[in-house]
Homo-oligomer: A and B are copies of this chain.
Amino acid sequence: MQRTNFAEMACSIARTLDVIGEPWSPLVLRDVYAGFTRFEQIQADLGISRKVLTERLNHLVAHGVLERRPYDQRPRFEYVLTEKGAELVDLLMVMVGWGDRWLAGAAGPPVLYRHHACGEVSHVDLRCAHCGEPMHARDVDLLPGPGAAR
């Protein structure tokens, strides 16, 4: 519902939430990434209301995160990740890392990730793009940037 418009805020978190902050959106993205690319598949997998799924898909397409394309002569469509969308899936992987660590409980994580490069089951780690050392919330100072509000 989110009647407040996050898109206008001078904050990249708020702007990102404007794209995927609505309920279900990250799960829709996860499904598309996992290979559930059609309306019926996503709806059945998530148990989401068809109405809401329509709204979310349209929103994600409008923001260039998904692309809607026909896969048949008949009016049939599938949704595929754009480059912009694929990079959002990286964000989901970080969510998975946190959820696995803090919420998985005794049963352990529901899904494992095997890294192509090394072949091992692993998880993401945040590093500084500049020096390669770990970069976490406590390892940085915040400075006003060029796009800061006046």
Contact = CB atoms under 8 A, between A and B. Distances in A.
Number of copies: 2
B116 A12 contact: no
A67 B107 CA distance: 27
A6 to B, nearest CB: 8
B27 A90 contact: no
Contact of A137 (B93, B127, B139): B93
A124 B135 contact: yes
A23 to B, nearest CB: 4
Contacts of A92: 13, 137
- Place the interface of chain A in its size category: 35 or more
A1 B4 contact: no
A1 to B, nearest CB: 5
A144 B98 CA distance: 18
A61 interface: no
A136 to B, nearest CB: 5
Interface in A56-104: 84, 86-104
Interface of A: 1-2, 4, 6, 10-17, 19, 21, 23-24, 26-27, 30, 33-34, 47-48, 84, 86-105, 107-118, 120-149
Given A114-B140, A114-B143, A127-B127, 12 more contacts: A17-B27, A21-B23, A84-B102, A87-B102, A90-B136, A90-B137, A107-B147, A111-B143, A113-B140, A116-B141, A124-B128, A125-B132
